[in-house]
Amino acid sequence: MTPKELKQILQALVEHGVSELTLETPDYKLTVRRGGEVQVVALPQPVTAPADLAPAAGAPGLEAQEAKGAKEAKDECAGCVEVRAPIVGTFYRAPAPDAPPYVEEGDRVEKGQVLCIIEAMKLMNEIESEVSGIVKKILVKNGEPVEYGQPLFLIQPL
C-alpha cells in the first residue's frame, strides 16, 4: 500500500464518519480506529504482483524511471548539489495553493532559504537550501508524494 492510498483511506474515513476500518489482504492486515491507534500486521510471505499487473520483462518500473530522470538531470548539472527530501510526505512548491512558488528554476537562493514544503501527517515542514547558488532543476512536481532521500532540487553553488 502506498502512502497516497493510505491517505485516501484515512480521508474517506473522516468524510464518511467511519470510526473503524479493517482491511485484510493476503499480504497484510490494516486496522484503523479514529481516535485510537493504527495497527499494521505484516504477513511473512513476499508480495508479488499478479502477472497482468507486473511490468514486462526488461521494462523499467516507475521508480527506476524516476531515478533515471534524476540521474540524467544530475549529469547535466556537473557540480550541482542535490537537495533531498528529509522525510516522506507530499511536496508543495508554494506556501498556499494561490501563492507563488518559493523558487523557480534559474532563481538565485541563499543558504537557509525556504525552497518548498513537505507535508507529513498534516504538518508543513519547510525545506531549506543547503547552499547559496542557482536553482538549476526542480525534480518533483507540485503535489507529488516524495520518499525519504528523494532528490528534490539541483542547485549550482556560487
Query: Which domains, from first to last, does the chain contain?
Result: 3-33 (no CATH), 81-157 (2.40.50.100)
Walking along the chain (158 residues) 10 residues at a time, the average pLDDT comes out as 76 75 74 58 49 50 52 71 95 94 96 95 93 96 95 95
Q: What is the distance between the alpha carbons of residues 147 and 138, in angstroms, rounded to a whole number?
A: 15
Q: What is the pLDDT of residue 25?
A: 76
pLDDT at 89: 95
Q: Residue 118 burial by CB count (10 A; 0-12/13-18/19+): exposed, middle or buried?
A: buried
Instruction: Give the pLDDT of residue 69.
Output: 53
Whether the CA torsion 10, 11, 12, 18 is positive or negative: it is positive
Supply 51's cell numbers. 502477472
For 97, phi then psi, to 5°, come to -60, -35
Tell me the Ramachandran region of residue 139: left when phi exceeds 0, alpha when psi lies from -120 to 50, beta otherwise: alpha
CA 16-1-67 angle, to 5 degrees, is 130
C-alpha cell, 65: 524511471
Tell me how far apart the alpha carbons of residues 122 and 153 are, in angstroms, rounded to a whole number.
23
CA-to-CA distance for 83 and 28, rounded, in angstroms?
Answer: 34
